[in-house]
Amino acid sequence: MRTTVAQIAREAGVSPATVDRVLNDREGVRPRTRDIVMQIATRLGYFGPAESDDMKKVRMDFVLPAGSNSFMQLMRRNLMEEAQSRGNVDLTLHQIEGFDPSGLSARLMALRGKTDAVGLVSLDHPEVREAVNALSRSGVKISTLLSDLPSVTKVGYVGVDNRAAGRLAGLLVGRFLPRDIRAHVAVFIGSQAYRGHEEREMGFRSILAEEYPDLTISGLTEVSDDRDRAYSETLRLLDSDRISAIYNVGSGNQGIARALRERRLERDVVFVGHDLTEATRMLLLDRTMDAVIDQNPRVQAREIVKLLVSAVKGSSEPDYPPRLQVVFRENIPSQ
């Protein structure tokens, strides 16, 4: 069946009249729009048989935070392994330094016309939302990873329910601490620019208010997922207040652990965090951490690559939200 003008218009995010002008080489269309329409028309087979889905490589780009975050390093590795195992994905990784919405937006805009699909760990910022929508209008399929971005045009989100993860952390802290005592809890967050981190904090606060009113949050400390900053902020809190528990929303667990050990409080302060890595395995084994809430990066890499490949090829995948798993010292899974 021949590709129609309406199909091309829908994929390109323009009107059928615009597509008609491009295909008939008439004036009145911006060069960038003309390029996009021609690329999509070619891909859909308007000018002849489209390349077989089995033969066609999917160009896929992932834009992820840079740095030494252990979980993000695992995610990068799993994405590359998943792409290689499929054989039909040409994957490129991009790393953005710091919590930089302008840098993230610029990198996304630079991918227009150069890729079929983009996965990203997104900052919730107007510049980023605008860039995602513009990239989607150009025909690129987009999915968010780990931290969602509502109100943008995308094919899906792959990641856990972060509010539920925060409530689970609150439940653990509340159950670990003695009942009916007034205690102070320190909360560390990577950045509130990540909706996922914000949702975890909200979930944590909500269950403490509902179930454990005697627990008081001593304050929210933003550490930019930096272990050295987490270390210094933990020392400051331990020296200025009596802290009974620590909940770390993001990365930086090694810095917190270092501070607890220096003050010889690793067995006295309840410590709950996220993501099972080599570092958090060791912290569970030596009892510095009490529990880790894990989200399997291998499963997430598999699901987002599958989702984006299907979207590029014109089909869809059912939602498959990764499950939350609580890991204690006694149930650490084998590698």
Residue 331 lies in a domain: no
Q: What are phi and psi of 268, to 5 degrees?
A: -105, -30
pLDDT of 54 over the 90 cut: no
Q: Residue 53: its pLDDT value, please? A: 53
More confident residue, 105 or 3: 105
Cβ pair 75, 83 in contact under 8 A:
no
More confident residue, 176 or 37: 176
Give the Cα separation of 256 and 246 in Å (integer): 9
Same domain for 264 and 142, yes or no, is no
Least confident range from 14-28, 168-182, 275-289, 301-315: namely 14-28
Residue 147: DSSP 8-state? S
Structural domains of the chain, count: 3
Same domain for 151 and 74, yes or no, is yes
Same domain for 154 and 301, yes or no, is yes
Confidence of residue 317 (pLDDT cuts 50, 70, 90): confident
Residue 48 lies in a domain: no
Residue 175, beta-bridge partner list: none
Range of the domain at 155: 58-159+297-323
pLDDT of 294 over the 60 cut: yes
Q: Residue 186: its pLDDT value, please? A: 97
What CATH number should be reported for the domain holding residue 191? Answer: 3.40.50.2300
Residue 273 lies in a domain: yes
Same domain for 194 and 134, yes or no, is no
Q: Residue 292: its pLDDT value, please? A: 98
Across residues 257-276, what is the average pLDDT?
97
Across residues 287-308, what is the average pLDDT?
94
pLDDT one-digit tens code per residue, 116-151 = 999 999 999 999 999 999 999 999 999 999 999 998
Same domain for 215 and 95, yes or no, is no
Confidence of residue 189 (pLDDT cuts 50, 70, 90): very high
pLDDT of 318 over the 80 cut: no
Residue 53 lies in a domain: no
pLDDT of 313 over the 60 cut: yes
Residue 214 lies in a domain: yes
Least confident range from 75-79, 86-90, 141-145: namely 86-90
pLDDT one-digit tens code per residue, 238-260 = 998 899 999 999 999 999 999 99
Helices of type H across the chain: 5-12, 16-23, 31-43, 70-86, 101-110, 126-137, 162-176, 195-211, 227-240, 253-262, 278-285, 297-312
Q: Residue 55: its pLDDT value, please? A: 56
More confident residue, 240 or 327: 327
Residue 246 lies in a domain: yes
pLDDT of 219 over the 90 cut: no
Same domain for 215 and 307, yes or no, is no
Residue 248: DSSP 8-state? E
pLDDT of 51 over the 60 cut: no
Confidence of residue 234 (pLDDT cuts 50, 70, 90): very high
CB neighbour burial string for 9-44, b if at least 16 within 10 angstroms, e if fewer: bebbbbeeebbebbbeeeeebeeebeebbbbbbebb
Residue 50: DSSP 8-state? P
Confidence of residue 220 (pLDDT cuts 50, 70, 90): very high
Same domain for 155 and 303, yes or no, is yes
Same domain for 185 and 77, yes or no, is no
Residue 329 lies in a domain: no
Confidence of residue 62 (pLDDT cuts 50, 70, 90): very high
Same domain for 22 and 168, yes or no, is no
Same domain for 126 and 33, yes or no, is no
Tokens of 152: 């943008």
Across residues 64-74, what is the average pLDDT?
89
Same domain for 232 and 169, yes or no, is yes
Residue 216 lies in a domain: yes
Confidence of residue 211 (pLDDT cuts 50, 70, 90): very high
Give percent above pLDDT 70 in the chain. 96
Q: Residue 137: its pLDDT value, please? A: 94
Confidence of residue 12 (pLDDT cuts 50, 70, 90): confident
Same domain for 135 and 63, yes or no, is yes
